[in-house]
Amino acid sequence: MCVPRLFYFGCMTEIDAIPPERRRGRGAATNPEGRFDPYVRTVEPDGWDRDDDLPPLRTHVSVEVPKRVISRNDSPDLSFDRSVNPYRGCEHGCIYCFARPSHAYLGLSPGLDFETRLIARPKAPDRLARELSAARYKVAPIAIGTNTDPYQPIERDRRIMRGLIEVLRDFRHPLIIATKGTLIERDVDILAEMAADGLVRVGISVTSLDADLSRRLEPRVPAPARRLRAIETLSRAGVPVRVMVSPVIPGLTDHEIEPILESARDAGAVGAHWAMLRLPWEVSTLFARWLRDHYPNKASKVMARLREMHGGKEYSAEWHHRMRGEGVYADLIAQRYDLACARLGLDGETPPLRRDLFHIPPRIGDQLSLF
């Protein structure tokens, strides 16, 4: 049944959860409409079908052929101005993912659709090579993994990320990677080659060292210990790795900042980064529901801390504020992080990635230079 949407998203009534047996291994409990959908759809039992007769939710992958793949941003609180996304949506299913609202632009739900209805871009490497070959292209590091994870499970078969880094290696182009996926170890051959020339830097996110909490927060992400081993593998190959303590969830994971940093340092990380939990748009309702389901005794405390850091709201999108928050608690977290990094030697400046090696490789049919 469809009814007109009469309220803003934050005032909508709670949507019934999909039965656990149908969403096993998923982060969200519901599949609410995106903020651009004019209707709210509800399921009404007709007496014929039962919930336990319905099949579990499977991952469905569609294909998109983009005209361009390099996305630009002018955000003053980001260290890069361009990025590439091989996939839309993410099977990792992190309940806190700030990229969930982007699925609403596709007419899909930021809830379970974000985890189960994915879009792959197999032509992305070809498009990237074409854009890098443009005469007016100016070199600067390209970031991959800033929206959805390039090493999510479907990359094992699709190999789109592998194709992208092959292009960047051939162009000798600087690259920044952010991921939770240990599949990155597959590409250590290319990354080590690029690292030897100062062309790549990797960030691996470790939200918690508690395997049970991690499985609830990030149902299809490799376990924390496995991600630490990935840091070790990359570091041994000469690839510089930063640990991303992100997101810090007040009242739930904030006590783990120091242990995460120390474990990552021991695994070979040479730098670190942190960010506070961000709950833009639909993510706020999804995360609050997750808290009530998994940690009901902590739910009110977590949400109160977030409102305390954002002027009474659960999220503020202001530059230089959205990733850290403000106030006494936010300052305390920042001080703890800074002290731990200084003690562990993770506070040094990261050398800038090289831009001077960039060149357009010859293509089949090109005339070769005489000299």
Q: What is the pLDDT of residues 84-112, one digit of tens each?
A: 999 999 999 999 999 999 999 999 999 99
pLDDT tier at 123, thresholds 50, 70, 90: very high
Average pLDDT estimate for 78-87: 94
pTM of the predicted protein model: 0.90
Beta bridge partners of 244: 205, 273
Give the pLDDT confidence score for residue 267 in this predicted structure.
Answer: 98
Q: How many CB atoms lie within 10 A of CB 71?
A: 15
- What span, in angstroms and rounded, lies between the C-alpha atoms of 295 and 252? 9
Give the pLDDT confidence score for residue 45 in this predicted structure.
Answer: 66
Give the pLDDT confidence score for residue 78 in this predicted structure.
Answer: 86
Q: Are 59 and 91 in contact (CB under 8 A)?
A: yes
Q: Are 182 and 143 in contact (CB under 8 A)?
A: no
Query: Under DSSP, is residue 259 helix (H, G, I), strand (E, B) or coil?
Result: helix
pLDDT tier at 3, thresholds 50, 70, 90: very low
User: Going by DSSP bridges, is the β-strand pair 200-205/117-120 parallel, antiparallel, or unpaired?
Assistant: unpaired
Give per-residue pLDDT as tens, 172-189. 999 999 999 999 999 999
Query: Under DSSP, is residue 232 helix (H, G, I), strand (E, B) or coil?
Result: helix
- What span, in angstroms and rounded, lies between the C-alpha atoms of 19 and 334? 39
pLDDT tier at 13, thresholds 50, 70, 90: very low
Tokens 């292209």 appear where?
A: 137
Query: Under DSSP, is residue 1 helix (H, G, I), strand (E, B) or coil?
Result: coil
The three-state (H, E, C) secondary structure of 92-154, written as one string: CCCCCCCCHHHHHHHCCCCCHHHHHEEEECCCHHHHHHHHHCCCCCCCCCEEECCCCCCCCCC
Return the minimum-mean-pLDDT range out of 10-14, 276-280, 313-317. 10-14
User: Which tokens sit at 223?
Assistant: 């376990």
Residue 340's closest CA among 236, 268, 265, 282?
Answer: 265
- Distance between alpha carbon 314 and the CA centroid of its chain, in Å? 20
- What span, in angstroms and rounded, lies between the C-alpha atoms of 242 and 322? 21
* pLDDT: which is higher, 11 or 149: 149
% pLDDT > 90, the chain: 76
Give per-residue pLDDT as tens, 192-206. 999 999 999 999 999
- What span, in angstroms and rounded, lies between the C-alpha atoms of 71 and 147? 11
| 261 burial via Cβ count (<10 Å: 0-12, 13-18, 19+) | buried
Tokens 């800033």 appear where?
A: 146
> If you ran DSSP here, which 8-state letter would residue 62 be given?
E
Q: What angle do CA 149, 151, 156 make, to 5 degrees?
A: 140
Ramachandran region, residue 320 (left: φ > 0; alpha: ψ -120 to 50; beta: rest):
left
